[in-house]
């Protein structure tokens, strides 16, 4: 009997579903629905059940062909338990128990934090996945995930992999971070921090940056074209990513750093910049660790979630 897995990205705005064929992990079908706005403790699981039923039907798949369901959630999670998830108005939620109201024990159910799930998926889609990998997602926020011995590092309370909140920048003049601190990596490398730094530099230096309609893409395009301000901005991002990576490297000794998120659309140019700065900070054998680009893009959540479900027996 042919088997399948579901990967579900549970977000505050949308629930994204991917149906994957078990062996080759080909994406068979996908669907996106609005996250229910009320009664989250029940309604989200009801929506998941109904959507899986619908997708099964339109692909002529029976429920006993489902090996597992993986869920990526936007908050720390430990052993399927969420203490607090502001995006979904969850508090003290046992996600596994909630799913079991709808799905029998024959179906594996696995849940993990969305950035950790993305890290797992990004590693698994490589031709030869690594046993130890660190994933950065560079976007509005800076997130990440750590894979050690082939497993997601959840940590003691599910907070493992929150690399965006390493204190990297000793400057009281930064705004307060979402975590309540100041000087987090996210406050140097998150997109709004990058844009405001570029604007600040542009006041005193001449630049070809489009200051009235500034974007990350514009900054990288102008850096590639040789604009001094843009070059300074992208080097600052790369420098801080590299510095943080060198700290993680001497603790966790990964085999690879995978760089994803919207900012990584800058491509190999960004990777080369980071790798160059990294040489300054790396110690011992960690100097040889490569940086590579993430591949799954917008589907990182569903792909990673499907892989954590596939892995579970
Ligand atoms: Zn922070």
Give tens-digit pLDDT for 188-246.
Answer: 999 999 999 999 999 999 999 999 999 999 999 999 999 999 999 999 999 999 999 99
Per residue in 291-306, pLDDT tens? 999 999 889 999 999 9
pLDDT of 169: 81
Ligand 1 mean position to 54 CA, how many Å?
40
Ligand 1 mean position to 75 CA, how many Å?
14
Ligand 1 mean position to 109 CA, how many Å?
31
Ligand 1 mean position to 241 CA, how many Å?
15
Ligand 1 mean position to 45 CA, how many Å?
30
Ligand 1 mean position to 118 CA, how many Å?
20
pLDDT of 225: 97
Per residue in 60-69, pLDDT tens? 999 999 999 9
Ligand 1 mean position to 169 CA, how many Å?
11
Domains and CATH numbers, the chain: 4-124+299-311 (3.30.420.40), 133-294 (3.30.420.40)
Token reading at 211: 């200051």
Per residue in 130-169, pLDDT tens? 999 999 999 999 999 999 999 999 999 999 999 999 998 8
Ligand 1 mean position to 156 CA, how many Å?
19
**Average pLDDT value for the chain:** 95
pLDDT of 313: 80
pLDDT of 40: 86
On the question of pLDDT at 279 being above 80, the answer is yes
- The model's pTM is 0.94
| Three-point CA angle 23, 307, 135, nearest 5° | 135
Ligand 1 mean position to 285 CA, how many Å?
29
pLDDT of 178: 86
pLDDT of 2: 95
Place of tokens 């893409």: 217
Residue 203 CA to its chain's centroid (Å): 34
Ligand 1 mean position to 180 CA, how many Å?
6
Q: For residues 163 and 4, give the distance between their C-alpha atoms in angstroms, rounded to a whole number.
A: 33
Determine the longest span between alpha carbons in the chain, in angstroms.
67
Assign 104 to helix, strand or coil.
Answer: coil
Specify the DSSP class assigned to residue 35.
P
Please compute the mean of the pLDDT values over residues 32-58 and round it to a whole number.
95
On the question of pLDDT at 171 being above 80, the answer is no
pLDDT of 173: 64
pLDDT of 284: 94
Ligand 1 mean position to 30 CA, how many Å?
33
Please compute the mean of the pLDDT values over residues 67-72 and round it to a whole number.
98
Nearest to 2 by CA among 20, 18, 17, 27: 20
Per residue in 94-107, pLDDT tens? 999 999 999 999 99
Ligand 1 mean position to 182 CA, how many Å?
7
Ligand 1 mean position to 311 CA, how many Å?
32
174 band by pLDDT with thresholds 50, 70 and 90: confident
Ligand 1 mean position to 110 CA, how many Å?
27
Token reading at 251: 């603790």
Ligand 1 mean position to 185 CA, how many Å?
7
Cβ atoms within 10 A of the Cβ of 171, count? 10
Ligand 1 mean position to 35 CA, how many Å?
26
259 band by pLDDT with thresholds 50, 70 and 90: very high
Ligand 1 mean position to 176 CA, how many Å?
8
Helices (H), the chain: 40-58, 95-100, 114-124, 186-189, 191-204, 216-224, 228-252, 268-281, 300-311
Cβ distance 36 to 56 under 8 Å?
no
């Amino acid at each position: 009997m042919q088997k399948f897995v579901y990967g579900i990205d549970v977000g505050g705005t949308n629930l994204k579903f991917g149906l994957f064929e078990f062996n080759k992990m080909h994406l068979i079908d996908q669907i996106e629905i609005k996250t229910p706005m009320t009664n989250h403790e029940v309604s989200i699981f009801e929506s998941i059940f109904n959507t899986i039923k619908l997708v099964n039907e339109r692909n002529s798949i029976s429920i006993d062909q489902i090996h597992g369901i993986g869920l990526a959630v936007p908050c720390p999670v430990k052993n399927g338990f969420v203490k607090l998830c502001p995006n979904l108005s969850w508090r003290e939620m046992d996600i596994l128990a909630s799913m079991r109201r709808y799905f029998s024990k024959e179906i594996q159910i696995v849940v993990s934090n969305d950035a950790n799930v993305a890290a797992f998926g990004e590693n698994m889609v490589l031709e030869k996945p690594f046993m130890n990998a660190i994933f950065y997602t560079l976007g509005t926020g800076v997130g990440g995930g750590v894979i050690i011995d082939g497993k997601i590092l959840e940590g003691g309370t599910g907070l493992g992999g929150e690399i965006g909140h390493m204190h990297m920048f000793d400057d009281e003049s930064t705004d307060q971070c979402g975590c309540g601190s100041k000087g987090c990596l996210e406050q140097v490398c998150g997109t709004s921090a990058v844009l405001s730094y570029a604007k600040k530099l542009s006041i005193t230096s001449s630049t070809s940056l489009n200051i009235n309609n500034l974007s990350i893409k514009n900054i990288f395009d102008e850096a590639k074209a040789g604009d001094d301000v843009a070059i300074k901005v992208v080097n600052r991002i790369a420098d801080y990513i590299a510095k943080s990576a060198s700290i993680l490297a001497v603790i966790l000794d990964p085999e690879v750093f995978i760089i994803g998120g919207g900012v990584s659309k800058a491509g190999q140019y960004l990777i080369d910049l980071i790798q160059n700065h990294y040489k300054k900070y790396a110690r011992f054998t960690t100097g040889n660790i490569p940086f590579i680009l993430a591949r799954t893009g917008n589907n990182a959540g569903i792909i990673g979630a499907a892989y954590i479900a596939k892995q579970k027996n």
